[in-house]
Each structure stands twice: as structure tokens, then as C-alpha cells.
A and B are shown apart, each in its own frame.
Chain A
Amino acid sequence: MSFDFYVKADSWLHRLDPRVKLVLALVLMVAAMIVRDFWLNLFLLVGMILMLASAKIPKNRFVWVLKLTVPVTIMIIILWPFFYHSGYVFFHIGPLPITFGGLMDGVAMAFRIISLCFACCSLLFATDQSKIVRACVKMGMPYKYGLTLAIALRYLPVFFGIITMVTEAQNARGLDIPKKNIMKKIKSYMPILTAMLIAGLRNSDNMSNALETRAFGASVENRTYYSDITMKTRDYIAMAIILIGMAAFIYFFVVLGVEVPLQFY
């Protein structure tokens, strides 16, 4: 897997202004956090997957996200019923009752985590990274930080490439990473991490020189950009829909505190 999140494609989501997508991602994340109910969380998750699928995001990306979240979700599903109890009692482990409600709540929690990931992905998969940065700067982030963010994103794939090469270089000197013993494993990563750090520092030094030779930091009043972003009518409409949806959502589930009738525990 290469570490570039962006999937180049032409879809309704790709065409939206990055600012709209940023807001969309935030709204989806907030929604996933507010809701705490098996069915609603499932609904949100399926909704997001359908949304991304309609935006021509290929299957392997979904698999990738799911794989990434599997360890956490399994842990939650196993541990949650120990701490939360309601409804039908399956059995007791020591003094702790393991309940149907607890299990369902755990699963809902797991859905929540996966939803959070997919919410981020709706932004990352469908937006060129440089456009995300442009959006942040347009919304008031100082250019300096914007550039820092851009460089960080730009260097993620490079960074992972270097990890591979450094690991291979140290392996070639006989470094075997032991599989079993955790302490030994951590220790055996030291040569890799240190070499990474040194290579990284050297890189950043070169980078800052390269930036300065291209007039970074020159106090230009209104700098221009090679690829600028502009909000079009469809972006305003999308933004309106997102905000209205968000407002309705908050009104129902926070202000009114509507209980979902579908609950079966």
C-alpha cells in the first residue's frame, strides 16, 4: 500500500470545494460522536460507506480502513460489556454481569470508531492534499503553518519509504527483529529509529535551505497561488445541505433528546 491517501477520480465528492469537504468531514465526525445507539451508528456507518462508494473510492481503500481499525474495535467489543450493563444478562464473570445491552453498546462503540475513520477518509480520499492545505489557509490558517502541514503530508510516503530502506540496510548488517520478546523487539528497533532520525534531520536541513533559496519568508503582502480554489454555486448548495442536516441532527438528538424507538434492549 502506498501512503498517498488521495484517490484520483472524477466524482461529485472530488469536485466539491475542499472547504466544503472539510466541513463535511467535521460534521460527520461530530455526528458519529454524538450518536450512541446501535442502529443509528450502523446507519451512519453504512451511509458513509455508500457515500464514499458513490464517489468512486475503490474497494481496497475500505478494506484498508477496516483492517486498520480491526484491533481497536475487537478490543472494545470484548472489553465494553465488562463496564456497561443493561438488559438481559447472559452470564456472570466473577461479580460482573455480561449483558445483551452491554454487548450491543460495545458494538455501537466499534461502529463509532470506524465511522470516525471513514469521516476523515471522506476528506482525505477525495481531496488532493495540497488542496486541503489551500483550504486551511483560505480559512485563516497562517501560510507558514499551512506549508508545514503540506510538507508533513507530502513527506508521509517518503518517510515510510525511508523506514523500509533503513530497515533493509540494518537487516543487511545482520539485524534480526525478534518476533516474540517485546522488550528485545523495541530494543532492536533502536538502530532503525536513530538512523531515521539522523536522516530526517539532514533532510529537514536541506529542505529549509531549499525553501529559503526560493524566497520563503520574503515579506510579500498578498502572495498569489498557482492553483487557487473558489466556491461555486454547487459548493454553496452542498454547504447549506450539510449545515441544515447538522442543525436538524443536533436539534433532534441533543435538544429534544429523542430516544430511538428501534431500541430492543
Chain B
Amino acid sequence: MSIDTTKDPVLQAIGLEHTYDNGFQALKGIDLTIYRGDYIGLIGQNGSGKTTMIKHFNGLLRPTKGKILINGVDEATMTIGKISKQVGFVFQNPDHQIFCPSVSEELAFGPKNCGMSPGEIKDSVEDALESFKITEYANHPPAILGFGLRRKVSLAAVFSCRPTVFIMDEPTVGLDHRSARELLDIVGELNSNGCTIILITHDMRVICENTKRGIVLRSGKLILDGTTREVMSNIEMLEQTQIRPPQVIELSKELSPPDVREFPLTTDEFIKKFIKAKKAM
């Protein structure tokens, strides 16, 4: 199985390069098409250019060479306000965006900027509160909520703009296992409702258990792009970027004949493939 390229492209990077003011070239020519409904795990060491690339998708950075198309339209012609209606980007630290006296006002800020009507704003705020299961906190001041809830608020506050692409930078960092699981379930649900998701994370298990497509960056170049299974099974290539896939994959590789190229991604899959299969024999 490989990536389904029959769907509409929502984001396209064409020969994307970026050189920072200090002369450092962080992206060295990236060609990438992201399709509607993709659930992408973006992987790469610190400094490989993940954040730089993502910032091009929502107009915070502009290409120094090449271009970005959003739903087929060249991004260079759009203001950041217009882009943020289509591409939502949640930053790592929730405290960098929380400023309103109540959660619902926080969620309404984006939609207001996007020029929604009062009715639409109300609907999308309620929708976001519900999606992220924070309706009961609607009137709480977000700044004094616990970290996990602040994280949810920061996601909901971007989601309330109803973006078609939803990008998250390390959304599970600092969360305990249960909160992380809960958050990923919510994100998974958004994806099954048609939202395109890009997830940056260093947690390979999160990638394996949630995403459908994997993209690996190394020093500003795209070195792997395929289904999560294809990417995660390419142990040799991952090793070159100091990434170690979850142990189930390494174990499966040891247990499989040498010509097998795709391995189970999760413990459940592993059990199904190796243990149940054996029992059945």
C-alpha cells in the first residue's frame, strides 16, 4: 500500500528553499504534496528544519526560493490572516497564545480575525469546545487551568477557525500518558471528519499508533516520504537520522525473513501477526 494520490492536494511545496537572514540554509529544496484527509507524522532531529518548513505552510515564513500552493493558490498572494483560515498552526507552548479572560473568548479570537459573522463564531466556538471536550470550562479563565487543559485550549483556539489543514508542533510534550492518549483520540476524530493533520513529534510510538503517512527531514532535505508503515519499516534509513523506531518493529524485523519489508506498527498488530498466527498453527 502506498499514499493515495487521487485526493485533492491541499498543500504543495515546490522546490521550497529557505535561507535565514544569517545566511543559514535551513531548507534545501523540498517537493511535497499533502492531500486532503492525510494524517502526517513529521519526523526529524532537532534542527532538521521541521518548524521552518511548517512555518511556510501558514505564511509565517516566506520561501526564499520555490513556492507554496494552498488549495492550488500561490501563497505569496495571500496575507497571513487569509492563510490562517485554511491552515491552522498550534505552537509548542500554549502559554504563548493564551490571553483572554475566558476560554470561550479565547476560542472566538481566531474566528473574529478570520471575519466570521457573530452567528458563525458562536457555532464554531461551541463546536471546538465540544470537539476538545472542554465545554465545562467555557467560562473559566484559561491562564489558570492546568497544563493539559491549557494545551487543549490552545488547540481548540486554532481549530475554531475551521482550518482545512491542522498543524501541531509537539502537542503531547509534557502530558501524561492518559492526557496524551485523550488528545490524540480527539485529533484522530478530527481527521476522520475530513481534517488534514500534520503532527510533529519525537515520539515514534505516537507516530506509529496514529498517523497514516510519515515524512522524514534531515538537514533541510526530505529523505523519506511514504505510508507510516513504509517509513517506519525502513530501519536503516531512520538510523542514519538517529531515529529509532519502536521496539515492536525492531523485534518484528528480527523475527521475519529477510525479504519482508513491512512490519507491524503496534503491539496489537504484532500480537496478531506473530503470536495469534503461531497459536493458530
Contact = CB atoms under 8 A, between A and B. Distances in A.
Given A168-B60, A198-B143, A174 B95 contact: no
A191 interface: yes
A162 interface: yes
A67 B85 CA distance: 37
Given A172-B88, A173-B84, A175-B113, A198 B58 contact: no
A39 B150 CA distance: 60
A195 interface: yes
Contacts of A238: none
Nearest to B157: A173
Interface string A149-186: 00000000000001001101111111110000000000
A168 B110 CA distance: 13
Interface in B156-173: 157-158, 161
Contact of B99 (A171, A172, A198): A198
Contacts, number: 67
Contacts of A59: none
A195 B91 CA distance: 13
Contacts of A192: 99
A199 interface: yes
Contacts of A175: 81, 109, 113
15 contacts: A168-B55, A172-B90, A173-B97, A173-B109, A173-B110, A173-B113, A174-B110, A174-B113, A175-B81, A175-B109, A191-B109, A192-B99, A194-B99, A195-B98, A202-B95
Interface of B: 55, 58, 60, 79-81, 84-85, 88-91, 93, 95-99, 109-110, 113-114, 143, 157-158, 161
Given A173-B113, A195-B95, 14 more contacts: A162-B96, A165-B91, A166-B96, A169-B96, A173-B109, A173-B110, A173-B161, A174-B81, A175-B113, A191-B109, A192-B99, A194-B99, A195-B98, A199-B93
Chain A to chain B: the 4 pairs with minimum beta-carbon distance, closest first: A174-B113, A194-B99, A169-B97, A173-B110
Interface of A: 162, 165-166, 168-176, 190-192, 194-195, 198-199, 202
